[in-house]
Amino acid sequence: MAKEMETKIRDAIKNVKAWQRVPTSVNGVYLVKAPGNADNDTIMVEINPLNDRGTSMKRKGLFLKSSVEFEGFGEIFKNESVMELLSTLEGINGGSNKQEIKAIEI
């Protein structure tokens, strides 16, 4: 299975320019080829969740090269103190009181 996935990744990235996103079957998860040394490009995963309209939430997502990085960020994302901090910031920044912007008919 791992060898099959490796082949798929190499085929998908082969003709891609540096920093170009290659979508995966998981919404909000992309493969990205970063320039490396000589013929050795670095392949990363970009995680950038989609919003209600199906577009990326942020201009740039979170770039990961290893499962260790993924697990490290996962531990932080699960931390209750971080969630409490973000909830407090939403109150300060007004992020939880989003008003719907209606389209203007022209």
Same domain, 14 and 59: yes
Kindly state whether residues 56 and 70 are assigned to the same domain: no
Q: Which domain holds residue 35?
A: 1-64
Are 45 and 74 members of one domain?
A: no
Q: Are residues 2 and 21 in the same domain?
A: yes
Question: Residue 106: pLDDT band by 50, 70, 90 thresholds?
Answer: low
Q: What is the pLDDT of residues 60-102, one digit of tens each?
A: 999 999 999 999 999 999 999 999 999 999 888 876 555 666 7
Question: In this structure, are 24 and 74 located in the same domain?
Answer: no
**Domains identified in the chain, total number:** 2
Task: Give me the mean pLDDT over the 26-50 stretch.
Answer: 89
Is pTM beyond 0.85? Reply is: no
Terminal alpha carbon distance of the chain: 53
Q: With cut-offs at 50, 70 and 90, classify the pLDDT of residue 38.
A: low
User: Do 14 and 54 fall into the same domain?
Assistant: yes
- Both 81 and 45 in one domain: the answer is no
